[in-house]
Structures are given as C-alpha cells and as structure tokens.
Amino acid sequence: SPTARGIITTGTQTIAGAKTFSSIVKANTSYGDFTTDTDGATITFDMSLTNKHRVTLAGNRTLPVSNVTVGQFFTIELIQDATVSRTVTWFSTIKWAEGGTAPTLTTTASKSDVVGFLPTSSGNYIGFVLGKNI
C-alpha cells in the first residue's frame, strides 16, 4: 500500500495493533489533562506527557523539567502540604517576569501557586506567576 502522508483526522480515532510513526509533529502545543506528579526530593516534570502539572510538596524540593519543546507553554501548580512553607529550587535559566526574581511560594496549608513558563530557546525560559495562594 502507498505511504500515508499528511493524515488528518477528526473526532475520536482508534488505532489497533502495533504501529510505527516517524516525523511526528505536534500541531497543538497545549494538550492533556493535569498530571499529578509524584513528590520526592527531586520532581522531574515531563512535558511530553502534558503541559499541565501539579504536585503537593511534602518538603523542600528541586524541580527540573524534561522533554520541553521551544515555544511549548507549560504550567506547574505547587500545592503546600499541612506543614507549609515548603521551598523549591527551580530549573536553571529562568528569566522571571515582575522584578526578575523567583516567586515566594504561599505559606498557607493546602493552598497552591500556579506558575507558567515559555521556553524561548533550548534550556531558557520566561517564568510567570499565574496565581498565588489559590
């Protein structure tokens, strides 16, 4: 059979059996439901799964990201546990809006802060506070 090129589908599609895809291009860089990530000393947010992540912090944490595409806007919701005042060490090379410094996280139990990021080039980000003490 001929090679399929430029396949366009609408609605729900089911693909059965083993298939191999190459040269996949994401047409929409905003996708997926929130992923609730597992807490730990280091929490790696995998952007190939979704652009929307959340985690409840049970200690001070280091936050790297993986599989980021330039131009792929993503959000991270950080929820304080009952102990509160958890801090994070952000991934490097973030240029923070509003004064150029990383935000101070909320200190209210079970409340969250939502931050957004726009990758401008490989490993470089603009960071925005989207909501505090939510």
Question: Is the dihedral angle over the CA atoms 13, 18, 19, 24 positive or is it negative?
Answer: positive
Residue 132: pLDDT band (50, 70, 90) is: very high
Nearest CA-CA partner of 125 in 98, 99, 86, 90: 90
User: What's the rounded Cα separation, in Å, for the pair 76 and 64?
Assistant: 11
For residue 2, pLDDT over 70 is answered with: no
The predicted pLDDT at position 116 comes to 97
Structure tokens at 52: 């929307």
Other C-beta atoms closer than 10 Å to the C-beta of 112 total 20
The length of the chain in residues reads 134
pLDDT in tens, 12-36: 777 777 777 665 555 444 566 889 9
